[in-house]
Chains A and B, each alone.
Chain A
Amino acid sequence: MNAHRPVPSPQPGDHAPGVWSAKVPKGVDDYREQEALLLEAVQGAGYPSAAVFAIRLAFEEAMMNAFKHGGAEVVDLGVSVTARRVVITVNDYGPGYDPDAVPDPLAEENLELPSGRGLMLMRQYMTEVRHNESGNTVTMVYERS
């Protein structure tokens, strides 16, 4: 994770963007609706199935973190899908957390812990994952290779 790089914005050369924001209440149906819109936009922009899998997984984990660990009742979701990159921002308005303080789930002693893998998977599957200073907003970027 590089905390110093700015969030990439859609560039003028990007076309057919799917850009929207939404307030998503805690509840499976609302967040599934957003997930369906996201996947439709990603597939519509021609991303391969491995990218769709990665983006879906990261979206799931980010929303789960916001609702379960952040204790959010509503999250602000921002999505930008262009032919070149996908940017997803989730703000849970909670107290936030220090992502660097999350125990390493790959450490031998943590391997059998039932939780703590979400952030690692987000980092693994997305090109970039960054948090704001208070740790209640996560921005995930998938750059098309």
Chain B
Amino acid sequence: MGVDESRLRVKLQGEVTQVEFVDRNILDEGFIQQIGHEIDDLIQEHEQPKLLLSFSNVDHLSSAALGTLITIHQKVKEKGGQLRLSDIDPQIHEVFIITKLDKLFEIHDDVDGAMSSFA
């Protein structure tokens, strides 16, 4: 698994950019940075980005990954866009609750719920 391969599966659904993570574990610093850069590129492609991050494949993430999500949130907000998270494993959701990041992010159970929440 080289770092040059994309760590994301990206699909444009109407105005919404849907992103799925390839990796089950978002732990390694290099991968986290790469994910941050790739998502930043997607944000910059749109004037007011509507971005949905699906965690359906993800079993583990670290506090460094949370940091990258916060940076993504700030970049989307700066451009007047909207960010949604979905399909978060219950154990990882617990991490969001413990860190109070469930208050910062708009989290939905599934992609359908997240898609219908975009204004």
Binding site for B on A (CB under 8 A): 28, 49-50, 53, 56-57, 60-61, 64, 68, 105-106, 111-115, 117-118, 120-121, 124
Cα distance, A115 to B63, chains bound together (Å): 7
Question: With A56-B60, A64-B63, A68-B29 as given contacts, are A111 and B103 in contact (CB-CB < 8 Å)?
Answer: yes
What are 6 A-to-B residue pairs whose CB atoms are below 8 Å?
Answer: A61-B62, A64-B64, A114-B67, A117-B63, A117-B66, A118-B62
Partner of B30, one of A28, A56, A112, A113: A28
The minimal Cβ–Cβ distance linking A36 to chain B, given in whole angstroms, is: 12
For the complex formed, measure the closest distance between the CB of B56 and the CB atoms of chain A, giving whole angstroms. Answer: 17
**Chain B residues close to A by CB (< 8 Å):** 27-30, 60, 62-64, 66-68, 70-71, 73-74, 91, 95, 98-101, 103-104
A28-B28, A105-B99, A112-B74 known; A118+B60 contact, CB < 8 A: no
**Which A residues are in CB contact (< 8 Å) with B101?**
111
B98 near A53 (CB under 8 angstroms)? no
